[in-house]
Amino acid sequence: MFRTICFLFFAVGMQHASAATSRNADIVIYGCTSGAMTAAVQAKKMNKSVIVVCPEKHLGGLTAGGLGFTDSGDKSVIGGLSREFYHRVWKHYQTPEAWRWQKQAQYGNKGQGTEALDSVNRTMWIFEPHVAEKVYEDWIKELKIPVIRNSWLDRAKGVKKQGDRIQSITMLDGSSYSGRMFIDATYEGDLMATAGVTYFVGRESTKAYGEKWNGVQVGVLHHRHHFGAVKTPISPYVVPGDPSSGILPRISKDPPGEYGAADKKVQAYCFRMCLTEWAENRVPFAKPDGYDPKEYELLLRVFQAGWRETFQKYDPIPNWKTDTNNHGPFSTDNIGRNWDYPDATYERRREIIKEHETYQKGLLYFMANDPRMPEDVRAAVARWGLAKDEFTDNGNWPHQIYVREARRMVGQYVMTENELLKRRPTPGPVGMGSYGIDSHNIQRYITPEGYVQNEGDIGVSTNGPYQIAYASLVPKKGEVANLLVPVCVSSTHIAYGSIRMEPVFMILGQSAATAAAMAIDAKIAVQDVSYDKLRARLLADGQVLESTRAVRAPAVAASALPGIVVDDAAAKRNGAWRMSHTSQKYVEDGYSVAQADSAASVTAVYTLPIREAGTYEVRLSYAPHENRGDHVKVDVAHARGVDSKVVNQKQTPPIDGLFVSLGKYTLDPAKPATVTIHGSGGGGYVIADAVQALVLK
Residues above pLDDT 70, as percent of the chain: 94
Cβ burial, residue 113 (10 Å; 0-12/13-18/19+): buried
Q: Is the pLDDT of residue 523 over 50?
A: yes
What digits encode the pLDDT tens for the residues 208-228? 999 999 999 998 877 878 887
The pLDDT of residue 549 is 67
The pLDDT of residue 9 is 38
Residues 633 and 157: their CA atoms lie apart, in Å, by 63
Q: Which residues of 599-618 are buried (b: 16+ CB within 10 A; e: fewer)?
A: bebbbbbbbbebeeeeebbb
Averaged pLDDT of the chain: 92
Mean pLDDT is lowest, of 266-280, 585-599, 627-641, for 585-599
Residues 174 and 358: their CA atoms lie apart, in Å, by 33
The pLDDT of residue 697 is 67
Decide: helix, strand or coil at residue 432: strand
Residues above pLDDT 90, as percent of the chain: 81
- Which pTM does this prediction carry? 0.85
Are β-strands 591-594 and 577-580 bridged in parallel, bridged antiparallel, or unpaired?
Answer: antiparallel
The pLDDT of residue 551 is 53
The pLDDT of residue 210 is 95
Say how far residue 221 (Cα) sits from the centre of its chain.
Answer: 15
Tell me which residue of 217, 214, 248, 686 sits closest to 454, measured CA to CA: 217
What domains are defined for the chain?
Answer: 558-695 (2.60.120.260)
CB-CB contact of 467 with 183 (8 Å): no
CB atoms within 10 A of CB 540: 9
What digits encode the pLDDT tens for the residues 356-371? 999 999 999 999 999 9
Tell me which residue of 191, 185, 149 sits closest to 9, measured CA to CA: 149
The pLDDT of residue 5 is 38
Q: Is the pLDDT of residue 20 over 80?
A: no
The pLDDT of residue 114 is 44
Q: Is the pLDDT of residue 7 over 60?
A: no
Which amino acid does the sequence have at 612? E
Position with higher pLDDT, 208 vs 588: 208
**Helix (H), strand (E), coil (C) string for 496-554:** HHHHCCHHHHHHHHHHHHHHHHHHHHHCCCHHHCCHHHHHHHHHHCCCCCCCCCCCCCC
Q: Is the pLDDT of residue 99 over 80?
A: yes
Decide: helix, strand or coil at residue 284: strand
Average pLDDT, integer, range 650-663: 94
